[in-house]
Structure 1
Amino acid sequence: MRDRRKEVLALCVCLTLGACSSVGSYHGPVQCAPYARQVSGVNLRGRAASWWWEARGHYQRSHRPQPGSVLVFRASSRIPDGHVSVVRRLRTRRRIEVDHANWVGGRIEHSVPVEDISPRGDWSLVRVWWAPAGSMGRRAYPTYGFILPMR
């Protein structure tokens, strides 16, 4: 267990510092932030949860999803560094599909359903598809909102 933690920490440092040549060429678990940065073009660094604040003054932020935008999850006990996903498709006013990495076992997933369950419909609380169960996850995850890439 301790060796696995060291391995994950080394990967995080490698990807955060840009020491790995690219997400696609690394043969191990892929972290969400480097993947989202590569796919979206939103050039932010650090913990996924910090992206919302790092984007201020550099990227437009919104509480409405748009294809290509980055959904930023807040840090929580389940995801201590937060999480980021790239919006691929709008399905309904309260359901989107995202591409992201490391939600399940360090791998990349495409067209993953995410639904807004916030009382005000502002995407501040979501549920995410859980592939191992083949259904929407039961846990609710708080989010900041969406970072819009520069066009």
Structure 2
Amino acid sequence: MTIFRSLLILTFLLPLLAACGGGRSYNGPLQCAPYARKLTGVQLRGSAYTWWYKSQGKYPHTKQPKKGAILVFRKTSKLPDGHVSVVKKIKDSRTIIVDHANWDAQRVNHNASVVDVSSRNDWSLVRVWWPPTNKLGTRKYPTYGFILPGKT
């Protein structure tokens, strides 16, 4: 394979592999961080998992969901950039409805269920609706908690 062809392939594939990184604008490849920023107005950049630490002192944090809050997923082997979702509705003490981008590759998912499966009901571990199967996913994802848009 020639160097030119390799570079061409990388140029095409790298944006698709970026998942939830916040380095590109919302007009570029669809990513969760720029999408959440657009929905909430928070002024945070970078990979989704870094939002928890970058938001300290700028935005309030909570361990319980609130409408309009941003759920921040931790970095894992399956989510190397973490993930962020925006709470649209609280269904019950263990279920929220979110809007988020790029959970299902290069798509915005509206009205997706997220279920708290943590042992202490503190939203530190969740399962997420998986559109390709039209049911709740089987994987459990660790989270930091919720960022509340609006200054501290």
User: Does structure 1 residue 5 correspond to structure 2 residue 13?
Assistant: yes
User: Does structure 1 residue 80 correspond to structure 2 residue 92?
Assistant: no
Provide the C-alpha distance between the structure 2 equivalents of 1:96 and 1:134, rounded to a whole number of angstroms: 16
Identity of aligned residues (%): 50
Answer whether contact 1:29 1:107 (CA < 8 A) is retained.
Answer: no
**Gaps spanning 5+ residues in structure 1: where?**
none
Answer whether contact 1:98 1:114 (CA < 8 A) is retained.
Answer: yes
Look up the match of 1:98: 98
Look up the match of 1:71: 71
Please list every run of at least 4 consecutive aligned residues from structure 1 whose deviation after the TM superposition is greater than 6 angstroms: 9-13
- State the secondary structure of the residue aligned to 1:16: coil
Look up the match of 1:121: 121
User: How far apart are residue 10 of structure 1 and its match?
Assistant: 8.2
- Count how many residue pairs are aligned between Structure 1 and Structure 2: 143
User: How far apart are residue 9 of structure 1 and its match?
Assistant: 6.4
| 1:1-151 alignment, distance < 5 Å | 2-8=10-16, 16=23, 20=25, 23=26, 26=27, 29-150=29-150
Bigger Cα Rg: 2
Provide the C-alpha distance between the structure 2 equivalents of 1:140 and 1:45, rounded to a whole number of angstroms: 25
TM-score norm. by structure 1 comes to 0.87
CA RMSD of aligned residues (A): 2.2
Look up the match of 2:3: none
User: 1:127 and 1:10, CA in 2 relative to 1: closer, same or farther beyond 3 A?
Assistant: closer
User: 1:116 and 1:43, CA in 2 relative to 1: closer, same or farther beyond 3 A?
Assistant: same
- State the secondary structure of the residue aligned to 2:53: helix
Provide the C-alpha distance between the structure 2 equivalents of 1:95 and 1:80, rounded to a whole number of angstroms: 25
Provide the C-alpha distance between the structure 2 equivalents of 1:108 and 1:48, rounded to a whole number of angstroms: 16
User: How far apart are residue 12 of structure 1 and its match?
Assistant: 7.8
